[in-house]
Amino acid sequence: MNTRLLTISILTMVILHSACSLGEESAVRAVVQQFFERAQKGEIESALELVVPEHPTARLLLSLKREDPSRDKEVLAELAGDMSKSLNGAELLIRSVELTGDRASVKLVILRRSVEEESSIVAVKRSGKWLLESIPSISESDL
């Protein structure tokens, strides 16, 4: 009887752990997909809400907002236009998500104009929310 109870307990723990991992993987996939969709639409500020604040692009925009809010709008419009143009018609394929605690390594492919560009990014969980620590290059000059 004790062996049966132990076996059931272990199986329950394994199932719960698997379910939690699948939930976390889905959350990471969703953040990557949201970032891509927002970038594709040229919604730079919205896209950068999904990126850690210490990322160089996020820091640049924060410093611009402090120094010269009017210049900030110009830079945002330029970045938004570049992102939207570069990702126009592009498709995102997330190949895999590897979770290690509060870090996730994401392997993906961006398909632009019949060119597959493989990339990997890192997401981190902060205050219960997944954010991108690195983002793929989205410049047209990379093609």
- Is 90 exceeded by the pLDDT of residue 138? no
* Model confidence pLDDT, tens digit, residues 12-37: 554 444 444 458 999 999 999 998 89
Could you tell me the pTM of the whole model? 0.70
For residue 133, which of 115, 110, 106 has the smallest C-alpha distance?
Answer: 106
And the tokens for 124? 């981190």
Domains of the chain: 2-138 (3.10.450.50)
* Model confidence pLDDT, tens digit, residues 40-84: 888 877 888 898 988 777 666 666 666 666 666 676 677 667 766
Higher-confidence residue of 104 and 74: namely 104
Radius of gyration for the chain, computed over Cα atoms and rounded to the nearest angstrom: 19
